[in-house]
Amino acid sequence: MTPFPASLTTLNTPLPRDANATPAGGEPLGDLPEWDLTDLYAGEDAPELTRDMAWLETECAAFAADYEGKLADLSADEMLRCIQRNEKIDEIAGRIMSFAGLRYYQVTTDGDRAKFMSDCEGKLTEYTTPLVFFSLEFNRIEDSTYEAMMAANADLARYRPALDRLRAMKPYQLSDELEKFLHDASVVGASAWNKLFDETIAGLTFDVMGEELGIEATLNFLTDQDRSKREAGARALAEVFGKNVRTFARVHNTLAKEKEIGDRWRGLPTPQSGRHLANHVEPEVVEALRDAVVAAYPRLSHRYYKLKAKWLGLDTLQVWDRNAPLPMEETRLVGWEEARKTVMDAYAGFDPEMAKLAEPFFTDGWIDAGVKPGKAPGAFAHPTVTTVHPYVMLNYLGKPRDVMTLAHELGHGVHQVLAAGQGEMLSSTPLTLAETASVFGEMLTFRAMLDGAKDDAQRKVMLAGKVEDMINTVVRQIAFYDFECKLHAARREGELTPEDIDALWMSVQAESLGPVFEYMEGYEHFWAYIPHFVHSPFYVYAYAFGDGLVNALYAAYEDAPEGFQEKYFDMLKAGGSKHHKELLAPFGLDASDPAFWDKGLSMIEGFIDELEALEG
């Protein structure tokens, strides 16, 4: 089980600033909610947690005793029982690690919480090691036997999408003994380097204009109205990242090499192959997306940032201007209750059922919103397990983009609630589809706010903000994906110095951002703080996939709104039980069609057209 979140939006949402609920200016944000984790466990000494841990130890051993060496000889009914027992083990393990992980992310600098999570992870690794046989042995079942089992029991056949994904790894699995060794060693491999990265990031302090700040507060300066403050924040980030760049380079070198060794032993053809298999998406579909976005750089980011430079009265932009607010943008803070009403009204405008599904997040302790010392940066929605409910983490400080982050993460939460009916094995959505509901929730909120714009000036600010978010979600994430591709390819040739990694980073930044930008000394180190590269290699293309998919979906909604809601909810309820082709077919869409991605990109282009028209 992975205790870290299923969806982080750190990369495409500028981060909040202060640890207080009353930011600069004295305007309170209101009563910011905190998590109530008691739906998982009342505490780390809860008797239910002790009971579940003991059950897990016993059941894992019993499962191995009952089934190891016997899978191919099971009847369809016996295989169904086996799958259901395995699913229950996943559920209990997921519940434990969700509790440990969420507590840790609330205060990553708390040694007791870090130890508790590590201890839980160590015990679960120990208990589940006897289960490593299952996927290996299941994949050795002959295709004819597998097909006969599926045909013989409809309840078993319901699990087929998950089992087919499992069998997709069949050509790449190692011997049982080696797989067990890798499972045991995982706690001192990638998991340990992930923790080192998290703890290093959480412990960094930055001197910004004489004030010592954490990474959240410092990153927030990059969106300040005052250009001198933006520059101060950027230079502080560059200085501290530079001082720690060797540690971050060591983390990346080690993880990329570990991945290369694993991929080589498994025979995976490319560093990206494992992610594509996990996402249940064809490599050519991802490459079509990547190529379409890169080809569109001049029509999207280059064109937009040229406009932005004009609005800011600048000939060239510095990196601290990329997420700068526009001069005509209102600087007022959006209180929590206003943010809640804005998002909930937009959700209800689409369908009252959507708002009803979102309501418990606000009323039942499912959101942790405030910025606090040691809290993990960014935002995420973590699904926990299907017998509980998701939890949303924000770092809310009242900026308009924070409202969009709320809409985004709440979309994830609604998706996870709806998909829970599929059960533990089928509820989890491949990353390529995991961003669908979140980006759609953002789009609903944006469209509702745009419709309420009081004049062209306000409309212009809102359109510009949306274009920036879309560029951050599509262009920037594909640039990140290219950086990862280059990093892993280069690491296969040997150890990379920090300067080597810096050069790879700058090559994709210059290409994606365009000629209007200049780059300060130290910006070459900004790859260092991005968690996706460490926690989830090649995750980032899922953002662009999701944005393009939602843009096409929203166009379908505008073209034919009648009956759309029912099809949309059916898609979310499907979770991971269907391939993207099946999910999109009712809407007349097909992601394997190269023209599909141009549809999504044309929506961004249309917004830029409107911005240029508003210039007069």
Residues 343, 487 share a domain? no
Both 567 and 483 in a single domain?
no
Residue 170 has a pLDDT of: 84
Residues present in the chain in total: 616
Span of 6-15, 163-172, 428-437 with lowest mean pLDDT: 6-15
Written as six digits, the tokens of 112 are 């007791």
C-alpha 97/C-alpha 197 separation (Å) is 19
Please report whether residue 464 resides in a domain.
no
SS3 of 553, please?
Answer: helix
Is 610 inside a domain boundary?
no
Phi (first) and psi of residue 211, to 5 degrees:
-110, 135
Quote the CA–CA distance of 509 and 293 in Å, as a whole number.
14
Single out the residue in 497, 514, 535 at which a domain terminates.
535
Question: pLDDT tens for residues 107-123?
Answer: 999 999 999 999 999 99
pLDDT at 18 over 50: no
Helix (H, G, I), strand (E, B) or coil at 211: strand
- CATH number for the domain that contains residue 301: 1.10.1370.20
Using pLDDT thresholds of 50, 70 and 90, give the confidence band for residue 8. very low
Residue 422 and residue 554 in one domain: yes
Same domain, 386 and 409: yes
Q: Look over the chain and give the mean of its residue pLDDT values, rounded to a whole number.
A: 90
Please indicate, yes or no, if residue 130 is contained in any of the structural domains. yes
Give the count of alpha carbons within 13 A of 41, CB side only: 23
Does the structure show a pLDDT above 90 at 469? Answer: no
CA 552 to CA 556: how far, in whole Å? 6
Do 605 and 304 meet the contact criterion of CB atoms below 8 Å apart? no
Could you tell me the CATH number of the domain that includes residue 56? 1.20.140.70
Same domain, 355 and 319: no
Burial label, 241 (beta-carbon count in 10 A; 0-12, 13-18, 19+): buried
As beta bridge partners, residue 208 has: 211
For residue range 508-532, list pLDDT tens digits in order: 999 999 999 999 999 999 999 999 9
Position 126 in a domain: yes
Compare 615 and 45 and report the one with higher pLDDT: 45
354 and 433 assigned to the same domain: yes
* C-alpha–C-alpha distance, residues 63 and 588, integer Å: 44
In the chain, what percentage of residues exceed pLDDT 90? Answer: 73
Instruction: pLDDT band for 27, please (50, 70, 90 cuts).
Output: low
Per the domain annotation, does 206 fall within a domain? yes
Question: Among the residues of 28-175, which ranges form H helices?
Answer: 47-67, 76-106, 111-128, 133-138, 143-152, 154-157, 160-167
Out of 2-11, 74-83, 329-338, the most confident range is 74-83
Domain membership of residue 320 (yes or no) is: yes
Which structural domain range is residue 557 located in? 10-35+331-457+545-592
Domains in the chain, number: 3
Residue 273, classed as helix, strand or coil, is: helix
Domain boundary among 491, 514, 535: 535
pLDDT of residue 542: 87
Strands 391-393 and 380-382: antiparallel
Are 54 and 149 part of one and the same domain? yes
* Span of 24-28, 167-171, 322-326, 380-384 with lowest mean pLDDT: 24-28
d(CA 207, CA 561) in angstroms, rounded, equals 52
Burial class of residue 328 (count of CB atoms within 10 Å of its CB; 0-12, 13-18, 19+): exposed
Query: 605 in a domain, yes or no?
Result: no
437 and 583: one domain?
yes
Q: How confident is the model at residue 616 (pLDDT cuts 50, 70, 90)?
A: low
What pLDDT, on a 0 to 100 scale, did the predictor assign at position 279?
A: 84
Distance between CA atoms of residues 427 and 416, nearest Å: 8
What is the pLDDT confidence band of residue 20, given thresholds at 50, 70 and 90? very low
The Cα–Cα gap between 10 and 18 comes to 16
pLDDT tens digits for range 86-105: 999 999 999 999 999 999 99
488 and 424 inside one domain: no
Indicate whether 4 pLDDT > 60: no
Are both 160 and 241 inside the same structural domain? no
d(CA 322, CA 259): 33
d(CA 218, CA 212): 9
Looking at 153, 168, 183, which one is the last position of a domain? Answer: 168
pLDDT at 261 over 80: yes
| Cβ contact 21:337 at 8 Å | no
Q: Kindly tell me if the per-residue pLDDT of 417 is higher than 80.
A: yes
Least trusted range by pLDDT, from 5-9, 421-425, 563-567: 5-9
Q: What is the pLDDT of residues 531-588, one digit of tens each?
A: 999 998 998 998 899 888 998 899 889 888 999 999 999 999 999 999 888 999 999 9
**Range of weakest confidence among 314-328, 449-463, 476-490:** 449-463
Q: What's CA 481's distance to the chain center, in Å?
A: 14
What is the gyration radius of the CA atoms in the chain, in angstroms? Answer: 24
For the segment 236-255, what is each residue's pLDDT rounded down to a tens digit? 999 999 999 999 999 999 99
Q: How far is residue 505's CA from residue 286's CA, in Å, rounded to a whole number?
A: 21
Query: Predicted confidence band at 19 (pLDDT cuts at 50, 70, 90)?
Result: very low
Note whether residue 173 is domain-resident.
no
pLDDT band at residue 181 under the 50/70/90 scheme: confident
Over the stretch 122-141, which tens digit does the pLDDT of each residue have?
999 999 989 988 988 999 99
| Whether 52 and 94 share a structural domain | yes
Weakest-pLDDT range from 209-213, 237-241, 274-278:
274-278
Q: Which helix (H) or strand (E) holds 381?
A: strand 380-382
Q: Let me know whether 318 and 261 are in one domain.
A: yes
Q: Are strands 367-368 and 391-393 parallel, antiparallel or unpaired?
A: parallel
